[in-house]
């Protein structure tokens, strides 16, 4: 008999610090998360404060990985198998200011997608928990 997969609430990863809660419905399911990420990446691409960080990024892979990661974090039926946050941001010299601009772009995207504030706050808390693995530089921007 096959062993049951762990529930989303029991999944723990080094770069996901908080217990996973089920907010997937507030995000519109997996398709809603995908739409959110498309909106978010659009905001990031238009953001002159941080878009240069993504100049050499495979955008299709970025969208896929972000969709899987956010879907998993909000309790959806996804499993993020991409790189750790430390590995993904190595040598990018991300500053706290850049991290905060990225968070602002996510907030704008979530507002545009009409995601409920409690679900937004949950995702933002998860992202904030990843900051130590992402921010590696001092100064206003990298």
Rounded to whole angstroms, how far apart are CA atoms 136 and 89? 8
pLDDT 10s digits, 18-33: 556 799 999 999 999 9
Residue 111 corresponds to which tokens in the numbers above? 């507002």
In this structure, the dihedral spanned by the alpha carbons of residues 52, 58, 60 and 65, taken in order and rounded to 10 degrees, is -90
DSSP string, 94-126: --HHHHHHHHHHHHHHHHHTT--HHHHHHHHHH
pLDDT 10s digits, 42-81: 999 999 999 999 999 999 999 999 999 999 999 999 999 9
pLDDT 10s digits, 113-142: 999 999 999 999 999 999 999 999 887 665
Q: Is residue 142 in some structural domain? A: no
Which of 61, 65, 64, 72 is CA-nearest to residue 16? Answer: 72
Instruction: Tell me how many domains the chain contains.
Output: 1
Q: Is residue 140 in some structural domain? A: no
Full-model pTM: 0.83
89 is in an annotated binding site: yes
Domain interval for residue 32: 24-134
């Amino acid at each position: 008999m096959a062993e049951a997969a762990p529930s989303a609430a029991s999944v723990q990863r080094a770069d996901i610090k908080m217990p996973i809660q089920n907010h997937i419905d507030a995000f519109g399911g997996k398709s809603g998360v995908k739409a959110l990420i498309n909106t978010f990446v659009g905001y990031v691409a238009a953001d002159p404060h941080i878009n240069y960080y993504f100049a050499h990024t495979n955008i299709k892979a970025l969208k896929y990985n972000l969709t899987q990661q956010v879907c998993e974090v909000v309790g959806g039926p996804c499993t993020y198998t991409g790189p750790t946050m430390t590995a993904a941001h190595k040598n990018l010299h991300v500053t706290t200011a850049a991290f905060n601009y990225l968070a602002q772009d996510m907030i704008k995207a979530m507002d545009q997608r009409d995601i409920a504030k409690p679900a937004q706050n949950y995702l933002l808390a998860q992202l904030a928990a990843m900051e130590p693995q992402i921010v590696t530089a001092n100064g206003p921007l990298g």
